[in-house]
Amino acid sequence: TSKFKLALLATERFVFDMPEPQGLNLHVEIDEFLRAIDYCLQSVGMDTGIPDQLGVTLIPKGDVLNLYSTNQQCITHAKVALKKEATFRREILSEPFCKQMLKLRRTGAKMQIEVNSEYSLFTVGKDTRLFGKVIASENPIDFNQVVKHEFAKDIRDTQICIPSKLKLILE
């Protein structure tokens, strides 16, 4: 057995105050959104000189939220339906934030995500909140143009969603 004495800091002396939810929710089906995040994490890069590679880029367009990630070798694109117009134009969620969201998801718990120009806030139930700074990109990659350029129109028009049970089918 071991005995430890750990120093504790009083909550009023913390250097960070967790923001309260502002009600600026990203109005999406949360399970679908988390599946899209998980899908996009497969091509997140590590080049710190290119901020667009360090996470998942969210770009709302009308009633659709486009999610992109790239590592300069491949690009991943997912779409999620928006129930209500997003309050931001383009934001990048960091890879660690996205991975933590996936770890925190709980079946049956109410989950919601807020995204603004400074941070993202993922709430699970009444007492769990995950805070993450969004990544700024001064020269953002035009993902829509890259996809249009790299994929011929006839290929784009015939794409289908990957079946959710494809992995089981292949096994």
pLDDT tens digits, one per residue of 3-18: 888 888 787 888 888 8
pLDDT tens digits, one per residue of 107-145: 778 899 999 989 999 999 888 899 999 999 988 888 887
What's the pLDDT at 8? 81
pLDDT tens digits, one per residue of 16-50: 888 888 877 889 999 999 999 999 999 999 888 88
What's the pLDDT at 11? 75
Q: Does the structure show a pLDDT above 90 at 68?
A: yes
pLDDT tens digits, one per residue of 139-169: 888 888 787 767 666 666 676 777 778 778 8
Task: Give the global pTM.
Answer: 0.81
Average pLDDT over residues 86-90: 90
| Calpha distance 88→97 (Å, rounded) | 18
